């Protein structure tokens, strides 16, 4: 059997790698490099290439600096590429899953994951794009058109590439599921309300989306981070932030016109720009790409009515409390607990303290992590799910294996089913923790649900427990020992949180 596989695209041929069970193609350009004068402009068509292009090795990630949760550094703006994973057996008309990676909006890469298990579980084609991040993806400044949406526009360009090219890989362009985790899931919420995304995908899966709806009290995402609004920003506010940031860093000459300032900004070394990346992760609304706030549009039912799946992990916030508090040497203690509550909840702090009294938890850190999980993750996810279910078929899940192996071990702090712990069950990636045989079986079952949804718009799958829709109030709990209904509102005290800020 040949170790390579060649596919002819409209822009040129690509040579991928043939494995025992599947084919992989890495680094296929779906748009022109957004470099030089193309920085902070919509993605442009890719230039054709005359020779067969090697697609056997991962492409460069989007520009980013290494973080405590992601040890990846890149300064290469030539990043608008995608990876394709195809089952090895010949086939046509396969469902397509387009995967948007997470990473907080500043980090991540398509090449960080091996999608073999997902592709084979349901005989689907998986497409994973890289897209502009942080200051290159969500920057705004006076004079920029549709600032704050360049990463979103990149993803739309990748989805249009799928419509044009995916039949050449055996995929069906009429069965495209847009799936993403964490920041990737947040971006799916934007696609659901963007006119330019209409018709480019036909179902969607949002895994652990953060702050699509609702504000986030101080410290409940990351200790030390103040209260946060929903993850969307008006264009005018973003323009002011971009102009102030450029002036603060000395990237533009004082008094420059917007046109002159943008010309100077396009000359700033990317390494310098990345120092400000964390301030630019909120997609902006008020332009043609996102005309209105996705939060308001979703709550009003103004979104693309397609089948939807969404869910969270049982202990989302343990990742953040463990990483940014316990591991950082600033643990949550009984002495700090009242101050955290007061800063987060103000006059409601006493009520929260009674609901989550320390004597109910092994440690103050676990009490605080439960508060953060319930308020910052479960409450908005439940509201989002019920908002979806009022308008379109919707399924809700909770990944609840509290024995999930930790992505990052935290001394004396059980990680439980923390944020992103579900990814190791569904995908392979460097540094992924080893799973037990039972956990591996759970991952296989999850992938079968996910790919059944991609194929039919419903996760119903032969041989697996029934999964009723959220319209009936059902939430599917996913653990190695049990797959079935759980009382999500009671588990996360959502009646209590409905009365809280």
DSSP annotation of 433 reads P
Contacts of 124 (CB under 8 A, 6+ apart): 87, 94, 95, 96, 97, 118, 451, 454, 455
Longest dimension (CA), the chain: 69
Other Cβ atoms within 10 Å of 70 Cβ, number: 18
Q: Which of 151, 134, 154, 143 minimizes the C-alpha distance to 236?
A: 143
Contacts of 201 (CB under 8 A, 6+ apart): 98, 159, 176, 177, 178, 191, 306
Measured distance between the N- and C-terminal CA atoms of the chain, rounded to whole angstroms: 61
**CA 360, 366, 371: angle at the middle one, nearest 5?**
85
Cα–Cα distance, 366 to 76 (Å, whole number)? 40
In contact, 83 and 110? CB cutoff 8 Å? yes
Catalytic residue among 11, 74, 182, 197: 182
Cα–Cα distance, 4 to 17 (Å, whole number)? 4
In contact, 101 and 108? CB cutoff 8 Å? yes
Cα–Cα distance, 277 to 435 (Å, whole number)? 34
Q: Which of 22, 21, 197 minimizes the C-alpha distance to 98?
A: 197
The partner residues of 68 in beta bridges, in order of sequence, read: none
Strands 53-54 and 81-87 come out as unpaired
In contact, 23 and 185? CB cutoff 8 Å? no
Q: How would you write 154-184 as a 3-class SS string?
A: HHHHHHHHHHHHHHHHCEEEEEEEEEEECHH
Helix residue ranges, H only, 316-422:
318-321, 337-345, 349-355, 364-372, 379-389
Cα–Cα distance, 73 to 112 (Å, whole number)? 13
In contact, 464 and 448? CB cutoff 8 Å? yes
Is 293 annotated in the active site? Answer: no
Cα–Cα distance, 86 to 262 (Å, whole number)? 42
Q: Which of 310, 491, 317, 309 minimizes the C-alpha distance to 421?
A: 317
DSSP annotation of 71 reads -
Tokens for 163, please give them. Answer: 């419509």
Residues with catalytic roles: 182
């Amino acid at each position: 059997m040949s170790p390579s596989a060649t596919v002819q695209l409209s822009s040129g041929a690509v040579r991928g790698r043939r494995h025992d069970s599947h084919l992989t193609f890495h680094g296929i350009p779906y748009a022109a490099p957004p470099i030089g004068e193309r920085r902070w402009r919509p993605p442009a068509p890719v230039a054709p290439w005359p020779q067969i292009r090697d697609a056997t090795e991962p492409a460069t990630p989007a520009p980013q600096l290494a973080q405590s949760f992601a040890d990846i550094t890149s300064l290469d703006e030539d990043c608008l590429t995608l990876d394709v994973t195809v089952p090895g057996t010949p086939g046509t008309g396969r469902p397509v899953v387009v995967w948007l990676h997470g990473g907080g909006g500043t980090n991540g890469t398509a090449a960080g994951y091996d999608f073999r298990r997902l592709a084979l579980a349901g005989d689907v084609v998986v497409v994973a794009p890289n897209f502009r991040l942080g200051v290159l993806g969500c920057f705004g400044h006076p004079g920029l058109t549709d600032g704050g949406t360049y990463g979103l526009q990149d993803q739309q360009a990748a989805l249009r590439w799928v419509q044009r090219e995916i039949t050449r890989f055996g995929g069906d362009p009429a069965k495209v599921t847009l799936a993403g985790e964490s920041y990737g899931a947040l971006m799916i919420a934007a696609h659901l309300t963007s006119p330019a995304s209409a018709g480019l995908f036909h179902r969607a899966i949002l895994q652990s989306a953060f702050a699509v709806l609702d504000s986030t009290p101080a410290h409940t995402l990351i200790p030390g981070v103040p209260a946060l609004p929903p993850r969307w920003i008006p264009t005018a506010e973003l323009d002011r932030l971009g102009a102030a940031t450029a002036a603060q860093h000395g990237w533009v000459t004082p008094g420059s016109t917007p046109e002159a300032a943008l010309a100077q900004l396009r000359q700033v070394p990317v390494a310098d720009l990345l120092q400000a990346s964390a301030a630019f992760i909120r997609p902006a609304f008020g332009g043609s790409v996102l005309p209105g706030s996705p939060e308001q549009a979703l709550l009003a039912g103004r979104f693309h009515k397609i089948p939807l799946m969404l869910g969270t992990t049982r202990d989302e916030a343990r990742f953040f409390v463990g990483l940014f508090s316990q591991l950082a040497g600033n643990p949550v203690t009984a002495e700090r607990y009242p101050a955290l509550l007061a800063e987060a909840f103000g006059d409601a702090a006493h009520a929260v303290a009674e609901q989550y009294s320390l004597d109910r938890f092994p440690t103050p850190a676990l009490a605080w992590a439960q508060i953060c999980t319930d308020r910052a993750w479960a409450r908005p996810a439940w509201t989002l799910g019920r908002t979806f279910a009022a308008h379109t078929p919707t399924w809700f899940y909770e990944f609840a294996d509290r024995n999930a192996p930790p992505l990052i071990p935290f001394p004396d702090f059980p990680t439980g089913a923390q944020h992103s712990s579900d990814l190791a069950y569904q995908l392979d990636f460097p540094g992924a923790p080893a799973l037990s045989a039972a956990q591996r079986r759970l991952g296989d079952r999850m992938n079968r649900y996910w790919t059944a949804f991609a194929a039919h718009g419903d996760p119903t799958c032969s041989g697996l427990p029934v999964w009723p829709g959220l319209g009936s109030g059902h939430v599917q709990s996913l653990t190695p020992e049990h797959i079935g209904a759980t009382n999500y509102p009671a588990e996360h005290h959502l009646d209590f949180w409905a009365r809280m800020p």
